[in-house]
Amino acid sequence: MSLVASDMAQAMVDQLDEAWQIVKGEPFPGGSREDARIMFLAVARGLLVYMEAHQNDMVNTVTLSGGSAQTVTAIDLNIPPLPPPPAL
C-alpha cells in the first residue's frame, strides 16, 4: 500500500466537520473546502516527506507471534514521489 498525499488530505477534509464539533462544541462555521483541501494537502505532503526522511527511526524492533524479538535495520514505507502541488 502506498501512502498518497491527496488521499490523506481528502480524509482530513472529510473529518473537518466532526473534529470541529468535538473540539469547539459547535458546528464548523463554513469556509472554502478548497482552501481547507490545500491546507491539508500541505500538511499531508509535509508528513510524508518527514516520514520518508525518518523511516528508519520509527521502528527498530518487531516482536513475532512466537515471542521472539527481531531487530529491524531498515524499513521502506513505499511512499511514491510527491507530485507538484496543483496550480491555484
pLDDT for the residue numbered 87: 63
Highest mean pLDDT, choosing among 21-35, 50-64, 72-86: 21-35
Q: How many Å apart are CA 60 and CA 54, to the nearest integer?
A: 12
Q: Is residue 81, in this structure, part of any structural domain at all?
A: no
Q: Is residue 80, in this structure, part of any structural domain at all?
A: no
- Tell me how many domains the chain contains: 1
Q: Is residue 47, in this structure, part of any structural domain at all?
A: yes
**pTM score, two decimals?**
0.63
Whether 36 and 13 have beta carbons less than 8 Å apart is answered as yes
Host domain of residue 48: 5-71
Tens digits of per-residue pLDDT, 23-55? 989 988 888 888 888 889 889 888 888 887 887
Percent with pLDDT over 70 in the chain: 81
